[in-house]
């Protein structure tokens, strides 16, 4: 059967890739096989453009229990025989096409990755990017995405404890929807996504298989759409059923926590459905499979083998049951009122052989299917950066003292900085009785039931910095995540990452990808936070323009005593406030890539810099000071700079502030510059301020007393004089 270009386009394979496949296979693939290879060799499943670069990440460590990519998510030892299991994943393309279901099924997918490991999911975070705030299309996408996340997560009963929402023209037509989930398991009860043990049985549980989501992996997520045909691809978006997922989650957790010995492995069905699920767990288990498609429960008659193998119908799991416990496992799922069908067996061979109505319809060698060609491109620094990096920030007029307050209010009300309470109050962030620090602060804090411990969780990425300097931006994303974790009093331990980029076949995008990865890798080494899991989403473009490079970092930190966590807001009146890690006075370079520069001067320019050594020292000082009981609150200086951060401390804590610093240099840089690596702390009652100064001095960390918290509403800092109510009104502009 000669294969024409249209057939290859349908499965997103290039002619060269097809020729390579012919050579490896030694024959022409049939239609079913071609669909399966196309999906497995897609960027989404095969990571063919990113795998060589991902090897740059530091990944192991004493407390890391999994190898990256070997399982559905990464597991980290958190003591007491427990582990945290986490991962972040994108659902950008489906959300661009159908925001509500796209975002909802993104949540569903990441949650399945976590309970496939045998963990119980206890927290969700969502990192979202949309086009310009005022834009009508942005409003449509925003409402759909937020609605879909809330619907799915709320129905599941997993709290959404944090995340980010940012807006920029760069995401017009291509929003980013990254969902992170964290679960807890007893380490010895972790399950693996491996198909092992010949004659063990593949049980397909959960929803019936329908015609939805076919070509989601190869068609939607692995190429760009130059002719804006995404509209036509709406049927490639899956439709979610969170109620079904809730039952699946409870049943799988019962299976893992009480009857782990009944199964050889557990795997979710995500991108490329049954194809990737079966082939990948055979690859991990060094085994093969025989499948009988007649046993797959279907939503409608007349489905072809091709459709069944590539359907991305949601809420399905694949259990590899030990053959002597098939009846036990089936009874367990039936008790949860779920379908459970044996669809095949593990074999000792290295092929997945598929039968439909007794006829062999596909024979796929596991090794070929899971080893797509890898591409490593020598990137080129985007030409437009030279001008932006060289822009003379000092040529901009400084703000007048009288403009300081209006500018602060304008920044507080800017959609990127303003309170996201209007979003997170539509998410259940309390269920499971573990949320100690709800959304709205730096990192969320959840407690680990049955222990005194807490976990700090955050997602961060300043994409403007990544655009202006991908290396510094990648490093800064990790540094900021670590800083947010440290601001709760927790020690950073690991990250998961979601790399959102444009079309990697463009050399400028290849450059951004490589440089961001190098920056992240360097920062992870510096902070001793290995990468335990992650996801790559490429081809994020609309109308030929790539998004900002956006490597979202999800970080986990551990608090030994959750009752001793720090909060972001000022805790009480008459507490001394210090700025650690940098000075109030800043050069104009601090305005590089700042929110101020974009909001006030409509510019994205400058050359951001990050000092990882200084950042690490800062974080050590804050953690030591907290250990010694010196601190009551800590808040990181990031978007909007020092003035915005101080205002947030006052708003969140409900206490006033009187600043004592007087700026003599550039007022805009001091108030709104975004110099990295700075944390505002308020001291605990009766804390010894000299001890903090000594601790900082020992590690050469700048430490400046900048004021004192006040009873009542009054707020003053340098030329700004106002009250907390006025600040709050601006900050709650979007609520």
Partner 1 sequence: MRLQRSADGLRAVRDCAPCTGYHTIMRFAIVRFPGTWSDRDTYHALHDVLGHEAEIIWHRTTDLARFDAVVLPGGFSYGDYLRSGAIARFSPVMEAVVDFAEAGKPVIGICNGFQILCESGLLPGALIRNESLQFRCEWGFLRRDGGATPWADGIAPGEVLRIPISHGEGNYQADADTLAMLESEGRVIFHYCDARGDATPASNPNGSVNNIAGIINPRGNVLGMMPHPERAPEELLGGTDGNRIWQSVIASRLTIIG
Q: How far is the CB of 632 from partner 1 (least distance, A)?
A: 16
Q: How far is the CB of 569 from partner 1 (least distance, A)?
A: 14
Q: Is 136 in the site for partner 1 (CB under 8 A)?
A: no
Indicate the pairing of strand 444-447 with strand 176-186: unpaired
**Binding residue for partner 1 (CB under 8 A) from 52, 69, 157, 235?**
157
Q: How far is the CB of 579 from partner 1 (least distance, A)?
A: 29
Going by the DSSP 8-state scheme, the letter that residue 195 receives in this structure is -
Q: How far is the CB of 451 from partner 1 (least distance, A)?
A: 13
Q: Is 433 in the site for partner 1 (CB under 8 A)?
A: yes
Q: How far is the CB of 489 from partner 1 (least distance, A)?
A: 14
Q: Is 155 in the site for partner 1 (CB under 8 A)?
A: yes
Alpha helices (runs of H) in 487-558, residue ranges in sequence order: 507-527
Catalytic residue among 44, 93, 325, 635: 44
Catalytic residue among 63, 91, 565, 655: 91
Q: Contact 24/368 with Cβ under 8 angstroms? A: yes
Q: What is the dihedral of CA 418, 420, 423, 429, to 10 degrees?
A: -170
Element (H, E) at 672: helix 667-672
Q: Is 140 in the site for partner 1 (CB under 8 A)?
A: no
Q: Is 211 in the site for partner 1 (CB under 8 A)?
A: no
Q: Is 154 in the site for partner 1 (CB under 8 A)?
A: yes
Sheet-wide strand order for 340-347: 263-268, 316-321, 201-206, 340-347, 288-292, 351-356, 359-365
Q: How far is the CB of 241 from partner 1 (least distance, A)?
A: 7
Q: How far is the CB of 155 from partner 1 (least distance, A)?
A: 4
d(CA 275, CA 629): 54
91 part of the active site: yes
Q: Is 103 in the site for partner 1 (CB under 8 A)?
A: no
Q: How far is the CB of 560 from partner 1 (least distance, A)?
A: 15
Name residues whose C-beta falls within 8 Å of residue 285's C-beta, 6 or more positions apart in sequence.
Answer: 194, 195, 196, 264, 265, 320, 346
User: Tokens 């020992």 map to which residue?
Assistant: 698
Q: Is 729 in the site for partner 1 (CB under 8 A)?
A: no
Q: How far is the CB of 120 from partner 1 (least distance, A)?
A: 10
Structure tokens at 264: 């050889």
Q: How many C-beta neighbours within 10 Å does residue 700 have? A: 11
Q: Is 428 in the site for partner 1 (CB under 8 A)?
A: yes
Question: Which candidate, 644, 633, 527, places its Cα nearest to that of 580?
Answer: 633
Strand residues in 133-274 grouped as ranges (E):
160-167, 176-186, 201-206, 263-268
Task: Single out the segment in contact with partner 1 by CB under 8 A; choices: 313-321, 425-433, 635-643, 711-719.
Answer: 425-433
Task: Single out the segment in contact with partner 1 by CB under 8 A; choices: 40-48, 163-171, 244-252, 707-715.
Answer: 244-252
**Binding residue for partner 1 (CB under 8 A) from 51, 295, 425, 729?**
425
Q: Contact 273/310 with Cβ under 8 angstroms? A: yes
Q: Is 63 in the site for partner 1 (CB under 8 A)?
A: no
Residues 325-364 that bind partner 1 (CB under 8 A): 336-337
Q: Is 112 in the site for partner 1 (CB under 8 A)?
A: no
d(CA 434, CA 615): 30
- How many residues bind partner 1 (CB under 8 A)? The answer is 30
Q: How far is the CB of 288 from partner 1 (least distance, A)?
A: 36
Q: Is 150 in the site for partner 1 (CB under 8 A)?
A: yes
Q: Is 17 in the site for partner 1 (CB under 8 A)?
A: no
User: Tokens 């119908």 map to which residue?
Assistant: 313
Burial class of 603 by CB neighbour count within 10 A (0 to 12, 13 to 18, 19+): middle
Name residues whose C-beta falls within 8 Å of residue 52's C-beta, 6 or more positions apart in sequence.
Answer: 374, 375, 376
Measured from the CB atom, is 428 or 460 closer to partner 1?
428
Sheet-wide strand order for 550-559: 435-437, 444-447, 454-460, 550-559, 491-500, 531-537
Q: How far is the CB of 153 from partner 1 (least distance, A)?
A: 10
Q: How far is the CB of 485 from partner 1 (least distance, A)?
A: 19
44 part of the active site: yes
Measured from the CB atom, is 435 or 709 closer to partner 1?
435
Q: Is 243 in the site for partner 1 (CB under 8 A)?
A: yes
**Binding residue for partner 1 (CB under 8 A) from 156, 318, 320, 352?**
156
Residue 316: beta bridge partners? 206
Structure tokens at 427: 């998410």
Characterize 45-59 residue by residue with b for buried, 16 or more Cβ atoms within 10 angstroms of its Cβ, and e for exposed: bbbbbbeebbeebbb
Question: Residue 415: left if φ>0, alpha if ψ -120 to 50, beta else—which one?
Answer: alpha
d(CA 656, CA 214): 56
Q: Is 430 in the site for partner 1 (CB under 8 A)?
A: yes
Q: Is 431 in the site for partner 1 (CB under 8 A)?
A: yes
C-alpha angle 371/504/610, rounded to 5°? 110
Residues 558-587 that bind partner 1 (CB under 8 A): 562-563
Question: Which candidate, 467, 614, 475, 371, places its Cα nearest to that of 57?
Answer: 475
Measured from the CB atom, is 176 or 423 closer to partner 1?
423
Task: Single out the segment in contact with partner 1 by CB under 8 A; choices: 29-37, 426-434, 672-680, 714-722.
Answer: 426-434
Measured from the CB atom, is 155 or 572 closer to partner 1?
155
Residue 364: beta bridge partners? 352
Q: What is the dihedral of CA 130, 170, 556, 621, to 10 degrees?
A: -120
**Binding residue for partner 1 (CB under 8 A) from 242, 415, 519, 608?**
242
Structure tokens at 732: 């709650």
Residue 456 to residues 156, 441, 492, 580, Cα–Cα distance (Å): 22, 11, 8, 21
Element (H, E) at 472: helix 470-486
Q: Is 247 in the site for partner 1 (CB under 8 A)?
A: yes
What percent of the residues of the chain are helix, what percent strand, and what percent coil, each to the nearest 5? 40, 25, 35
Q: Is 315 in the site for partner 1 (CB under 8 A)?
A: no
Query: Which residues carry out catalysis?
Result: 44, 91
Q: What residues line the site for partner 1 (CB under 8 A)?
A: 150-151, 154-157, 241-244, 246-247, 336-337, 424-433, 435-436, 447, 449, 562-563
């Amino acid at each position: 059967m000669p294969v024409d270009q249209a057939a290859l386009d349908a499965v997103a394979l290039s002619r060269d890739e097809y020729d390579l496949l012919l050579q490896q296979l030694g024959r022409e693939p049939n239609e079913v096989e071609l669909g399966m290879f196309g999906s497995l060799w897609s960027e989404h499943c095969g990571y063919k453009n990113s795998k060589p670069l991902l090897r740059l990440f530091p990944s192991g460590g004493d407390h890391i229990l999994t190898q990256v990519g070997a399982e559905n998510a990464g597991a980290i030892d958190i003591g007491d025989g427990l582990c945290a299991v986490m991962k972040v994943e994108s659902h950008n393309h489906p959300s661009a096409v159908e925001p509500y279901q796209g975002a909802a099924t993104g949540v569903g997918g990441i949650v399945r990755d976590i309970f496939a490991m045998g963990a119980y999911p206890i927290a969700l975070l969502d990192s979202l990017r949309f086009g310009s705030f005022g834009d009508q299309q942005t409003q449509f996408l925003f409402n759909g995405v937020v609605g879909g996340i809330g619907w799915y997560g709320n129905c599941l009963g997993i709290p959404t404890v944090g995340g980010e929402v940012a807006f920029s023209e760069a995401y017009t037509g291509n929003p980013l929807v990254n969902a992170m989930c964290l679960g807890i398991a007893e380490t010895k009860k972790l399950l693996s996504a491996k198909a092992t043990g010949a004659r063990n049985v593949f049980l397909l549980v959960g929803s019936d298989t329908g015609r939805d989501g076919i070509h989601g992996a190869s068609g939607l997520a692995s190429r760009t759409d130059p002719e804006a045909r995404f509209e036509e691809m709406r049927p490639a978006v899956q439709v979610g059923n969170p109620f079904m997922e809730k039952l699946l989650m409870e049943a799988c957790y019962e299976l893992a926590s009480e009857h782990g010995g009944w199964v050889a492995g557990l795997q979710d069905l995500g991108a490329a459905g049954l194809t990737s699920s079966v082939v990948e767990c055979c690859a991990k288990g060094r085994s093969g499979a025989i499948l009988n498609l007649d046993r797959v429960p279907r939503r409608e008659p007349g489905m072809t083998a091709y459709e069944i193998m590539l359907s991305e119908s949601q809420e399905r799991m694949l259990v590899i049951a030990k053959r002597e416990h098939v009846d036990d496992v089936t009874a367990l799922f039936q008790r949860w009122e779920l379908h459970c069908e044996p669809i095949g067996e593990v074999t000792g061979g290295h092929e997945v052989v598929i039968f439909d109505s007794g006829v062999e319809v596909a024979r796929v060698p596991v090794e070929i299917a899971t080893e797509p060609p890898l591409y490593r491109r020598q990137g080129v620094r985007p030409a437009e950066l030279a001008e932006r990096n060289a822009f003379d920030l000092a040529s901009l007029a400084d703000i007048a003292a009288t403009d300081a307050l209006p500018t602060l209010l304008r920044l507080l009300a800017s959609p990127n900085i303003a309170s996201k309470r209007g979003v997170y109050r539509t998410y259940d962030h309390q269920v499971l009785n573990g949320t100690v620090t709800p959304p709205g602060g730096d990192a969320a804090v959840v407690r680990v039931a049955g222990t005194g411990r807490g976990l700090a969780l955050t997602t961060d990425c300043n994409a403007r910095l990544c655009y202006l300097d991908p290396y510094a931006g990648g490093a800064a994303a990790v540094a900021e995540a670590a800083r947010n974790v440290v601001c709760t009093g927790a020690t950073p331990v690991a990250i998961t990452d979601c790399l959102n980029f444009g079309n990697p076949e463009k050399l400028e995008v290849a450059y951004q990808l490589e440089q961001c990865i190098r920056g992240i890798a360097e920062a992870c080494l510096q902070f001793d936070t290995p990468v335990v899991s992650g996801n790559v989403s490429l081809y994020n473009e609309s109308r030929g323009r790539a998004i900002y490079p956006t490597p979202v970092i999800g970080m986990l930190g551990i608090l030994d005593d959750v009752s001793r966590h720090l909060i972001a807001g000022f805790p009480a009146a008459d507490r001394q406030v210090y700025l650690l890690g940098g000075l109030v006075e800043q050069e104009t370079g601090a305005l590089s890539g700042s929110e101020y520069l974009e909001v006030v001067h409509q510019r994205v320019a400058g050359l951001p810099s990050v000092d990882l050594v200084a950042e690490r020292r800062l974080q050590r000082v804050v953690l030591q000071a907290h250990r010694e009981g010196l601190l009551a609150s800590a808040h990181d200086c990031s978007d909007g700079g020092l003035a915005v951060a101080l205002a947030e401390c006052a708003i969140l804590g409900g206490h006033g502030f009187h600043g004592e610093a007087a700026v003599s240099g550039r007022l805009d840089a001091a108030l709104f510059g975004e110099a990295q690596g700075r944390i505002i702390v308020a001291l605990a009652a009766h804390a010894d301020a000299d001890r903090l100064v000594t601790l900082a001095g020992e590690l050469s960390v700048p430490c400046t007393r900048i004021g004192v918290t006040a009873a009542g509403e009054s707020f003053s800092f340098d030329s700004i004089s106002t009250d907390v109510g006025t600040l709050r009104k601006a900050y709650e502009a979007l609520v």
